[in-house]
């Protein structure tokens, strides 16, 4: 799995960080998402998908599905 985020559309809700804290973080100054791991390990794929579903601005997307 490879994921990407659109920082320009992020509203800083933080749901992604709660769902997948090792994959996502937020900038201190404005709360915008920070992608920590664009190719997360397989054990986190479900939480990454959950984070994408929870994102109110829909800024998380799967670029390449797991093979």
Tell me the CATH number at 56.
Answer: 3.30.70.20
Question: Residue 4 pairs with which residues in a beta bridge?
Answer: 61
Q: What is the rounded distance in angstroms from the CA atom of residue 26 to the CA atom of residue 1?
A: 21
60 pLDDT higher than 80: yes
- Asked whether the predicted pLDDT for residue 24 surpasses 70, the reply is yes
Sorting pLDDT into bands at 50, 70 and 90, what band is 67? low
What total of structural domains would you count in the chain?
A: 1
pTM: 0.91
Domain interval for residue 40 = 2-64
Task: Quote the CA–CA distance of 12 and 1 in Å, as a whole number.
Answer: 24
């Amino acid at each position: 799995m490879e994921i990407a985020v659109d920082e320009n559309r992020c509203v800083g809700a933080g749901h992604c960080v709660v769902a997948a804290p090792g994959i996502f973080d937020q900038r201190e100054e404005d709360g915008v998402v920070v992608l920590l791991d664009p190719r997360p390990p397989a054990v986190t794929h479900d939480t990454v998908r959950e984070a994408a579903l929870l994102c109110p601005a829909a800024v998380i997307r799967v670029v390449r599905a797991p093979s």
